[in-house]
Amino acid sequence: MGQKIHPTGYRLAVIEPWKSRWFAGKKNFGEMLLQDHSIRELIRKEFKGAGIPRVEIERSGGSISVIIHTARPGVLVGRKGVRVEQLKKDLQESTGVIVHLTVREIKRAELESTLVAEGISEALEKRMAFRRAIKKAIQSTMQAGALGIKIECNGRLNGGDMARTAKEREGRVPLSTLRSHVDYGTALAHTTYGIIGVKVWIYKGDIEPGKKIDYKKPMAGNPAPRNQGRGRGGPRRNDRDR
């Protein structure tokens, strides 16, 4: 089940909060949904290098509150807040309503699956060996306090003639446990041989019954013990992967 269901969608209304929080009727539900999608696409297109893994949208009355989580708030805000003010104007022009922006800094980018996947994709685009990029990401994430991580790369790895899949895992990643806080993110690496897809799962610990994840205070698991294994039997290796 954990291989076929999106980890975030599987935990919605249990421990995961909704990224869009508003209510609408049948007439304007589709319009608001497309508006949310266009807001997120505009932010990610304009601020690709700001490290934005999550954009939350809230609606109240005739205004929209956009909460942007970023690892590089200086890139997003700009000098004297020029860039964030321009973004606010662009969003108000595209939506036609008043927009309130809130920027929240991510303290540990190594624990955000989307940012880890983007880091691996950037390394692959710079022609780094995929095994080295994966191991480097696993090491930094486990040192940051994650309880487990799983990384999967699909495509023409190292310029091979046939596309294949490479997987690496360290620690525990309980995908079927609803209380486990599993952060899931993806990224695409545009290489000279084609597109390589990167998927990352990060296990940060369990959420207490009756509570939900609070992204205002990012949760980090306890540091993994030094003798911790790689899961059930560890990853399979082939001679051509070395």
- CATH class of residue range 109-241: alpha beta
Long-range contact pairs involving 80-84 (C-beta distance under 8 Å, separation at least 24): 83/47
Domains 7-105 and 109-241 belong to one CATH topology: no
pLDDT at 3 (0 to 100):
60
Share of the chain above pLDDT 70, in %: 88
The pLDDT of residue 214 is 78
Predicted pLDDT of residue 213: 83
Determine which of 67-71, 101-105, 213-217 has the lowest per-residue pLDDT on average: 213-217
- pLDDT value for 226: 40
Question: What pLDDT score does 217 carry?
Answer: 63
- Tell me what pLDDT residue 208 has: 85
61's tokens: 């009355």
Contact yes or no for 166/241 (Cβ under 8 A): yes
Distance CA 200, CA 133 (A): 13
CB-based contacts of 137, cutoff 8 Å, min separation 6 = 116, 119, 120, 149, 151, 200
Tracing tokens 């205002």 back to the chain, one arrives at 216
Does the pTM surpass 0.95? The reply is no
With helix as H, strand as E and coil as C, how does 152-209 read?
Answer: EEEECHHHCCCCEEEEEEEECCCCCCCCEEEEEEEEEEEECCEEEEEEEEEEEEECCC
Task: Give ∠ CA 187-193-196 in degrees, rounded to 5.
Answer: 20
pLDDT exceeds cutoff 90 at 153 = yes
pLDDT of 204 higher than 70: yes
Residue range 7-105 in CATH 3.40.50.2300? no
Strand ranges of the sheet holding 164-171, from the earlier edge strand across to the other edge: 164-171, 148-155, 194-206, 180-191
Check residue 162 and give its pLDDT.
Answer: 93
Domain boundaries, the chain: 7-105, 109-241
The mean pLDDT value for 165-175 works out to: 93
143: tokens are 């040192």
Q: Do the Cβ atoms of 40 and 204 come closer than 8 Å?
A: no
Q: What is the mean pLDDT of residues 106-114?
A: 91
Q: Does residue 102 surpass a pLDDT of 80?
A: yes
The closest of 206, 131, 125, 117 to 164, measured between CA atoms, is 131
Indicate whether 177 pLDDT > 50: yes
| Mean pLDDT (the chain, rounded) | 86
* DSSP structure class, residue 12: B
pLDDT for 212 equals 81
Contact between 137 and 116 under an 8 Å Cβ cutoff? The reply is yes
**What confidence tier does 1 reach under pLDDT thresholds 50, 70, 90?**
very low
194 has a pLDDT exceeding 60: yes
For residue 223, is pLDDT > 60?
no
CA atoms within 13 A on the CB side of 94: 20
